[in-house]
Structure 1
């Protein structure tokens, strides 16, 4: 009988909580969206599968060594940790003390848990290497840079303002998060509001990078919101684009762009990095990797490296990045009122970014003879290449011969 009881207690099903059951369903939903609906499958599939692994009871695949210790509830071990943190020897008090502790102290407690015989789960290790260090988003930016052609931007520099205008969604989201906090609806700190704000840029790797630095406790919700809304761009953007433009404006045909020389394309990433990094050194890691990838593409002398970064390397890193984000889809971190606020602010941010880009294009048309089709303003958000395809599709609905992607 004791053996049977031990067998039952060893089954994960006996320890399945309501929160874990909900998160397993959320993870299955992400897998369904990726496979059946093809919504950002390259990231939603590994994120969803990582969420499944993270919420298997008693497996501890997403737990650090210290989190495993706290989950074990050994009174003697809790007392040792509590003595180091100078707090009460219970799990809740220890978690609160850790949240306020310096990173160096948190690292010491993690090492102490390892010394007591606990080991981090595989997903926790993936997170530490891929996101905790900031490496994965940087490598992805290198790959994106290697896939980017700046020719159209250099040929028509005015379009830079469309991308700038679309970033209004970021500022609107930050202000929205702080407003929710001010009225006591949902609690957000300034770093958390800043991390949430990046959703408005429709840029998944940047959202992951910054939330990992500013608000790692919100990373799962922010990443899921960012990539879910990027996948929903074909549903979110067209109504806004049509509401802000007339039929005549949607039929505007843009003039043929000038030819951009190879020298211009080579100099652009170097000059861009020097100018921006000297003014904003904090942007140097992301921008540096992006410009390096673009320089490899345009130089034409390292085609093997450029091909590797565009294909093999970025694909490998995407796998580990998705699984690492899935490690944050654990019930106690995801099922919070903040998650609902993040999802709400995210869709509002996308709408504001889209509208701002379209309105900026209309403003530029007031002071220029060479008209810009306002529909391309919605492509100012960073949902690449989905936003550009949506702009082209809406343009073709008004004029079947007007190919805005060209």
Structure 2
């Protein structure tokens, strides 16, 4: 009888908290539809790794026999040892993205850079609050608004907050429809949000679409070599999409590969959501700094657009600048919804989509730059 209740007796209040966190993530995935392919396995995994004497983690059995746990093995092989899973996911992401709106309106590249302001603001804040440089940089990258980039950077820099960073990154991405309108309204007027923009896209040739991922990879690789894995796999996925001769592979990358890797990535990350590491004051601070990063991303993009308007005859709706975050395509849809609320005839979706796609590239480059910067300083 004592053997049957041994697990119950071994429960800690921190583990009970993690059960609540896991159930919350599952609820958000199922009932709210927030990134279900990732939040659901993360939530269920958080429950699995926090069961007393759980068999999904490595453990020593009677007689000194070592038993390998499947989640710990997945984490060590797919994330810890090689960062393979988040990098492979970029192939699927690249295959999903149409760079046409961005290539037809190249000035939108600027907003991708401007909306990364939250990364560096959050790094500075985390440093001031006492986090060491590796952890501060890993926390700041939540502002990339890109889950795989956040996971990869925090893993490469060996941050002890990778679980909290992953939860924050994907949770706040799902909450973009709530976070962005709040941030945008803080720094814009109704008149600015009603600015109309004409969309007259230049035609984008097939040759340009094919050349773009190759050229971007070469330039970024020469400027920031640590970004090659991130940018290269993203652009490789896009090249599969645009080459025109690998239609089946493109479909596989967008669907089967992306879904499979996301599923395994979510349950593997749960290894870092063990109660003794997750239920801490540091985790709460990570979540708050991550929220700060998302807000500052949107504000940075808006302020850049407002600065550009000082010199432009045809004004830019500053909300487009906020779409420069990487949460593609959610952010561009949020911006369009806000524009229609201000003026039912205001259609700025394609401008926002161009900035949004730019943000996807910029966030990956920013991740590589952060890795470069931190490793060079240390």
TM, length-normalised to structure 1: 0.83
Question: Which of 180, 197, 202 in structure 2 is aligned with 1:237?
Answer: 180
SS at match of 1:315: helix
The alpha-carbon deviation at position 216 of structure 1 amounts to 4.3
Distance 2:49 2:302 in 1: 41
> Is 2:19 the partner of 1:50?
no
Cα distance in structure 2, aligned partners of 1:261 and 1:364: 28
Q: Choose which of 328, 344, 348 in structure 2 pairs with 1:400.
A: 344
Q: Which residue of 1 aligns with 2:115?
A: 166
Shift of 1:371: 2.6
| Residue in structure 1 matched with residue 368 of structure 2 by the alignment | none
1:119 corresponds in structure 2 to 67
CA positional deviation for 1:5? 2.9
What pairs up with 1:177-188 in 2 under 5 angstroms? 177-181=126-130, 188=131
The 5 Å alignment of 1:25-44 reads 25-44=20-39
Structure 1, unaligned runs of 5 or more: 78-115, 182-187
Following the alignment from structure 1 to structure 2, what is the Cα–Cα distance between the partners of residues 225 and 20? 19
Partner of residue 338, structure 1 = 282
Counterparts of 1:181-200 in structure 2, within 5 Å, are 181=130, 188-200=131-143
Q: Go from structure 1 to structure 2 and tell me whether the alpha carbon gap of 1:241 and 1:6 turns closer, same or farther (over 3 Å shift).
A: closer
> 1:226 aligns to what SS in structure 2?
helix
Which structure's relative contact order is higher, taking Cα pairs within 8 Å and 6+ residues apart? 2
- 2:161 corresponds to which residue? 218
In structure 2, the residue matched to 1:138 is 87
Distance in structure 2 (CA, Å) of the matches to 1:283 and 1:312: 25
Distance 1:230 1:375 in 2: 17
Deviates more, 1:321-330 or 1:367-376: 367-376
Kindly state the Cα deviation for residue 304 of structure 1 after the two structures are TM-superposed.
1.0
SS in 1 for 2:257: helix
Secondary structure of 1:259's partner?
Answer: coil
Q: How does 1:209-358 map to 2 (within 5 A)?
A: 209-255=152-198, 256-358=200-302
| Correspondence for 2:146 | 203
Tell me how many residue pairs correspond in the alignment. Answer: 348
Give the Cα–Cα distance (whole angstroms) in 1 for the partners of residues 3 and 334 of structure 2.
57
How well do the aligned residues superpose, as a CA RMSD in angstroms? 1.6
Partner secondary structure for residue 160 of structure 2: helix
Q: Matches of 1:346 and 1:334 in 2, distance apart? A: 15
Post-superposition CA distance 1:302-361 (Å, at most 9, x none)? 111111100111000010000011121110110122101101101111111100001111
In 2: Cα distance, 1:251 partner to 1:201 partner: 27
Query: What is the TM-score with the length of structure 2 in the denominator?
Result: 0.88
Q: CA deviation at 1:8?
A: 3.3
Equivalent position of 2:16 in the other structure? 21
1:6–1:150 CA distance, 2 compared to 1 (3 A): closer
Please say which structure displays the higher CA radius of gyration: 1
Give the gaps of 5 or more residues in structure 2.
351-378
